[in-house]
């Protein structure tokens, strides 16, 4: 009964990041509206939906298979913490604290992995992650710089500048595939989440080429290809493991 109660609590965590205070789904719904900064809305929505809410859903539904979700949540919390420091967004610190506490609670629900579950270097995924790491880090650095400029073309959710979360998304996408490349227990969940987030961000950036936080047409197409490659890798891992 206690474990069931914790799983229900984790499900509530997921809902909170999707709706309030996370606004994950809400921001994704306006990524195709010219009334909003489309790419920044996509970045915020993808971060709190794909990188935060989805792992909590996995913990709530399948705690015995949710160890990769805990690692992804820890990376998301780290990315937000670095972003809060880089941009001096004090209110983002509250998100970091909340996500950290919730991740600790979720980790208590997940059972310990079996022996050897961490093993398994993937060279293809390491190559994919390595190809994306530097561009994503540069993108994150640029977004943090734009946040510090207090630009008029951004948007604010619960008082937090979207550029700061855009930078956190870039940092997370630089780290997650590399972690999954060296830890077999993170596959295919982590590369699937990262791939879907990257591909969608690239798609929105192509569609709204002049939007704030955009990647530019060439890099947007490259990001779509990179994200789809991660998704194909994740699918192949799933297909050959069944």
How high is the pLDDT of residue 52? 98
The pLDDT value recorded for residue 119 is 65
Query: Mean pLDDT for the chain?
Result: 94
Please name which of 199, 197, 213 lies closest in space to residue 144, comparing C-alpha atoms: 213
Q: Are 47 and 72 in contact (CB under 8 A)?
A: no
Query: What is this structure's pTM?
Result: 0.95
Confidence of residue 1 (pLDDT cuts 50, 70, 90): low
Rounded distance, CA 81 to CA 75, Å? Answer: 10
Mean pLDDT of 5-22: 96
pLDDT band at 2 (very low <50, low <70, confident <90, very high): confident
Nearest C-alpha neighbor of 172 from the set 187, 191, 194: 194
Q: Kindly tell me if the per-residue pLDDT of 219 is higher than 70.
A: yes
- Structural domain including 187 reads 2-241
Average pLDDT over residues 36-57: 98
Q: How many angstroms separate the CA atoms of 187 and 118, rounded?
A: 10
Q: Indicate if the pLDDT at residue 128 is higher than 80.
A: yes
Position 71 scores a pLDDT of: 97
The two three-digit tokens of residue 18, written as one number: 């999707």
Residue 114 has pLDDT above 50, yes or no: no
How high is the pLDDT of residue 112? Answer: 59
Task: Give the residue among 27, 39, 65, 73 at the shortest CA–CA distance from 172.
Answer: 73
Q: For residues 95-122, give the mean pLDDT.
A: 83
Query: What is the tally of structural domains in the chain?
Result: 1
Determine the Cα–Cα distance for residues 154 and 161; give it in Å rounded to an integer. Answer: 7
Mean pLDDT in residue range 97-118: 81
Report the C-alpha gap between 229 and 129 in whole angstroms: 10
Average of pLDDT values for 28-32? 96
pLDDT at position 116 is 44
Q: List the structure tokens of 99.
A: 């996500």
pLDDT recorded at residue 152: 87
Q: State pLDDT tens for residues 137-164.
A: 999 999 999 999 988 889 999 999 999 9
What does the pLDDT average to over 104-127? 80
pLDDT surpassing 90 at residue 201: yes
Helices (H), 38-188: 38-46, 54-61, 67-87, 90-109, 123-148, 162-182
Q: Which helix (H) or strand (E) holds 185?
A: none
Neighbours of 232 (CB within 10 A): 14
Q: Are 57 and 15 in contact (CB under 8 A)?
A: no
Say if residue 113's pLDDT is above 60.
no
What pLDDT digit, counting tens, does each position of 160-197 carry?
999 999 999 999 999 999 999 999 999 999 999 999 99
| In the predicted structure, residue 115 carries a pLDDT above the cut 50 | no
């Amino acid at each position: 009964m206690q474990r069931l109660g914790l799983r229900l609590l984790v499900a509530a965590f997921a809902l909170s990041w999707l709706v309030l205070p996370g606004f994950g789904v809400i921001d994704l719904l306006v990524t195709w509206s010219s009334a909003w900064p489309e790419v920044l809305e996509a970045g915020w929505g993808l971060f709190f939906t794909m990188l935060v809410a989805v792992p909590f859903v996995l913990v709530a539904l399948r705690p015995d298979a949710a160890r990769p979700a805990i690692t992804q949540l820890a990376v998301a919390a780290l990315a937000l913490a670095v972003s809060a420091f880089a941009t001096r967004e004090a209110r983002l610190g509250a998100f970091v604290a909340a996500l950290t506490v919730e991740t600790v609670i979720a980790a208590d629900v997940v059972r310990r992995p079996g022996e050897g579950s961490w093993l398994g270097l993937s060279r293809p995924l390491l190559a994919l992650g390595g190809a994306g790491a530097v561009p994503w880090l540069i993108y994150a650095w640029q977004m943090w710089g734009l946040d510090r400029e207090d630009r008029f073309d951004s948007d604010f959710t619960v008082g937090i500048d979207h550029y700061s979360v855009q930078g956190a998304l870039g940092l997370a996408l630089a780290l997650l595939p590399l972690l999954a490349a060296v830890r077999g227990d993170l596959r295919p969940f982590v590369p699937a989440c990262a791939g879907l987030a990257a591909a969608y961000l690239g798609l929105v950036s192509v569609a709204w080429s002049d939007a704030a936080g955009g990647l530019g047409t060439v890099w947007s197409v490259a990001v779509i290809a990179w994200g789809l490659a991660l998704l194909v890798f994740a699918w192949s891992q799933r297909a050959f493991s069944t």
